Amino acid sequence: MIKRLCVFCGSSPGAKPEYVAAATAVGTYMAKKGIGLVYGGGRVGLMGAVADAALAAGGEVLGVIPQALFEKEIAHPGLTQLCVVGSMHERKAHMADLSDAFMALPGGFGTFEELFEVITWSQLGVHRKAFGLLNTLGFYNELLSFCDTAMNEKFINPVDRQLVLANAEPEKLVDILSVHQVPASTKWLKVAET
C-alpha cells in the first residue's frame, strides 16, 4: 500500500470539463483512501483541481515549487506543506523522494518531461516505484501506441514496456498503483558480441 502518490498534471484545465472532473476525482479518492498527494504546488489548472479536491476531502497535500514560480504567485496558499526549492531539477528529485508511486494526468510538455523521467529512473533501477497514466478521454492513446511501436522496434524491452500502466478511471488507477509490483528491468543495453 502506498502512503503518498505523486501526481504530474497540467497547469491548464484543458479544453474539456472531463479533465478537471478526473483531477477532482483523483484528489478526492486519494484522500478517502488515506493516500497523501505530492504535486507541483500550483493553484491553477489540473494542479489546483487535484489539490483542492484532496484538501476538501481531508487529505494530506504536499506541494513542491521552484522559487521562480512561487514568486509569480501561482503557489497554492492552503496546502498541508509547501516546499520551495531552487530549481526544476530539485523539484522533481524532491517530489520523487516524497512519493511511493507516480501518476500523470493530462498535461503538456512539463508533464511529459516529468513522466518520462520517472519511467526512465525505474528502467535504470534508480527507483522501483509504480507509474500510471490517467487516460481521460483517451488523452494518452497515441503515447501508449508510440510506446508499443518503440517496443516492437526493439528500443524498449517488453518488460520495461510494463513500467507504463494506464487506465481511464481515476479510482481504478489509484487502486492499481497501490498494489502494483514493478517488474525487474532487464539489461537495457546489450553490447554486440564479437
Per-residue model confidence as pLDDT tens digits over 69-117: 887 768 899 999 999 999 999 999 999 999 999 999 999 999 999 999 9
Q: Give the CA distances from residue 85 to residues 45, 70, 120, 130, 182, in Å, rounded to whole numbers and listed in that order.
A: 21, 9, 23, 25, 29
| Domains, the chain | 4-179 (3.40.50.450)
d(CA 20, CA 145): 24
3-class secondary-structure state, position 180: coil
Q: What is the pTM of this model?
A: 0.92
User: What torsion, rounded to 10 degrees, do the Cα atoms 40, 43, 44, 49 define?
Assistant: 90
**pLDDT for 108-157, tens place per residue?**
999 999 999 999 999 988 999 999 999 999 999 999 999 999 999 999 99
C-alpha cell at 3: 502512503
C-alpha cell at 7: 501526481
190 forms beta bridges with none
Nearest to 69 by CA among 40, 90, 92: 40
d(CA 83, CA 134): 26
**pLDDT for 37-74, tens place per residue?**
999 999 999 999 999 999 999 999 999 999 988 877 68
Rg (CA), the chain: 17
d(CA 182, CA 19): 27
